[in-house]
Chains A and B, each alone.
Chain A
Amino acid sequence: MKKMILLLALILSPMMIWAADIKAPFTLPSARVLPKGVRNLSFKTVLAEASEKYNNSSSQVSVADPFFKNITYKDMIMGKRDPVDKAGIISVMDTVGANQDDKFAQTIGQVNIKATAYVPVLAWGISKKATLAVAVPVVQYSTNVDTGVVYTDPTQYNKFLEELEKRGAGLKSSEFMNKMNAPIVSKLQEYNYEPLSNEQGSALGDIKVVAKQKVFENDLNLLAIQTELTLPTGRKGSINKVINVTGGDGQTDLGAGFIHDLSINEHLTLSSQAIYTIQFADKEAMRIPERQDSKLTPDIDNNTDRDLGDSVIAQTGLKLNYSGFNLGTGYSLQYKDQDAYEGTVYESEHYSWLSQDTRQRMQGVQFVAGYDTIEAYKKGQFKAPLSILFNYTVVVEGKNVVKDPVASVDFNLFF
């Protein structure tokens, strides 16, 4: 035990407990490995929310932004597949002298998502230079959602209704009124989505296996190579749900990179790392957009060829350790390439629309504080070598990523 090196930083790279998308990291890098035969059990609790995000233009918008949409004649026409129904709407539009871009109303919505990931990690020093670790995340989540509609100017609505009444189409006018009072709910039902509802639950995440190999060490520098295998064990999202909090994306990832520690003095360490992750292609059931701007679609291809974009993270951190107290700060830059989809059931252009807004970027700043009992253990003042770290990551810039900060608590036991 006494031979254990003071290890505060996690031996694992920043956990991507939700696969596919990039997420804010919640640990600082470290090139250190466990001594041979030494084990480390850590338990991480990661607290995340999703209420705001950076969109494709890197502007801050609500996560519920897709719910905010104008309903125009064009939307109503394009939302119908049967040409008979399209003709019915166009006929009314012509009669009342309206145009396709004339607006009926705006749909609105709000979504709150809170998720807590519990990640037990068992690491084992299999040799004096190599450490193997397994992480098994479980995600607990709570979502709250509500949608509505706003008619700031009901002119088009009234004209449409009057024309239907004039034609004696009473059943169509009541159908129109019912749908327009809850347009999102109606469309979800029409397209066989599950109704929106508040949810609480838990899901297994993707199990990660990590191997770290020390390749160089001197008084000042420590260099390690790390490889990671993410297994598709996490619960996937459902194509019939609009809001999914998932444990995984159902496909296998392989990452590799290097980590470097520079010991500035006995208390201060500067670490940096770069990891590249390949997301292997697979087949997945997907909802295929019927139009380029479709948020909802009835079209499903159960064998869509999916190739999620590879990702890369570059991270640096400065750590201070003094008499058991730990402080740290770091910066990370992540990038994920665009996803690619193909299929044969619908036109190829429709599959290409799935790739929209899947290219991601994130810049984050981390703050870490904690305490460990290593020194106290060495002095016989504490019974076991433990550590506890609090991490707070702020997403300062991004593209198609959640903006909300991430907090985590990391408890470590060495034995």
Chain B
Amino acid sequence: MSNKIFLISLFSLLACGRVAERIKVESVYPPISSINTVLAKELKNKADMRSSSIVLYPNPSELQGMSFDPVGPSELLEESGWIQVISKLSYGNRLPRGFSSGLDNKEKVLNAVRIILSVSDARDLFFKQAGQFQKDLDRKQKEIDQMQGEMTSKYICYYPVDNESGHTCEIASHPGDTAPIKEIAENCNALSEWVFKFTGDDLERFKSEVQSCVKFTKDYKKMRADVKKNKIAPLNELRKLAKGIVTDMLKQMELFNKQRYLLTAATNEDPANDDTKSQLIFNEDGNEIKLFQIYLDSGSDFKMYSLENGGIQKLKWFKNSDGIQVLSFSLVDEKFSFDAELAASTRDIFDLRFVGDIVYKEGNITRRGVMKMEFDF
């Protein structure tokens, strides 16, 4: 009995290799989101850049001792560009108003970047709103044009004659006349000045339709002028004000420590004096870049950078593993360079844009930044 107990015990001692049970936790994921990718057709005929921004973020140590207030010393807060811009954002009251000199340097960078991103958001908002108004005007214009076209093709002036009654017209060609003399009015206004030989109800109908067309056109013109002046123009002005806030902040930083924080590309919105504009042109299939040149004002120089002159290097246009169309390149200058990796996307049918981070190097300094290029459809 003793022997058996011992043998069993010894065996149990040896047979003690144990393995932990395998585990599998069950994750619950959100629905898969589709990636916004550009289509080849959206890339065709792209040429002039509508707008571009290249902003370099300061390193914390560079802001030591610096303060910034987007409201100028002589400005009233409620009239300042700052308030005009941020009051249009739903979260405007959350934004920091610059930074004081005593604030921690990392907090200063955080505030500065929040301002840059919020201003960019505001500019997008104003652009979208202005664009929507313009789109509505364009749609209305099309309706007016269609109406005008219908009217002028409905009431053709046959055998026009200028007499004491005015510019008189017959309402139809003579029977058998295969090539009658006729005139088509340019628009309803011109149509209203002509005298057609309608009688009775036909005359009344003609007058009513022409007057209605003239009134619609007149009302539309008035409305268009009003929208352009009171809706679109203020939004464009707000866009400029918003841009001014960031430009002002970055320029102050540049003055403060003699570093570069803003690079300006020549575009439709910011043309150079000689009217040169940066361009990006794809081939028919949208899978190759035929031309890419950037006219850049770095603050100390204005130059053109392209593949041909070596200013743009390592250019790649590819779809990454996440299905995003990416434009990556290096821009190389004697004094500085930056590497850019930009994602291409379309936005709200308004435009095509390339947005992404850049890594900027100048001497021993490395700085993060962001670049955006926008093109009209």
Contacts and interface: CB of A to CB of B under 8 A. Distances in A.
Contacts of A86: 110
Interface string B20-38: 1111111111110101100
A45 B16 contact: yes
A216 interface: no
Contact of B343 (A110, A149, A168, A373): A168
Q: Which 8 A-B pairs have the closest CB atoms?
A: A170-B343, A148-B27, A154-B30, A87-B113, A174-B322, A168-B355, A112-B20, A83-B110
Contacts of B109: 83-84, 87
Contacts, number: 164
B326 interface: yes
Interface of A: 43, 45, 47, 49, 82-84, 86-88, 90-91, 94-95, 97, 108-114, 116, 118, 140, 142-152, 154, 157-158, 161, 165-171, 173-174, 177-178, 181, 198, 200, 324, 371, 373, 376, 381-382, 386, 388, 409, 411
B117 A91 contact: yes
A148 B36 CA distance: 27
Interface of B: 2-3, 5-6, 9-10, 12-13, 16-31, 33, 35-36, 57, 60, 90-91, 94-95, 106-107, 109-114, 117-118, 120-121, 124, 320, 322-324, 326, 341, 343-345, 347, 353-357, 368, 372
Given A45-B13, A173-B35, A409-B13, 17 more contacts: A84-B368, A87-B117, A91-B121, A94-B118, A95-B90, A116-B18, A144-B21, A144-B22, A151-B29, A151-B30, A165-B36, A167-B124, A170-B36, A171-B320, A171-B343, A174-B320, A388-B9
Given A97-B90, A110-B23, A116-B18, A87 B110 contact: yes
B180 to A, nearest CB: 58
A88 B114 CA distance: 7
B35 A152 contact: no
B95 A167 contact: no
Interface of A is mostly: mixed
Contact of A171 (B3, B57, B326): B326
Contacts of B94: 94
A148 B27 CA distance: 5
A388 B9 CA distance: 7
A336 to B, nearest CB: 26
Contacts of A161: 33
A54 B232 CA distance: 65
Nearest to A169: B355
Contacts of B121: 91, 95, 167
A165 B26 CA distance: 29
Nearest to A199: B20
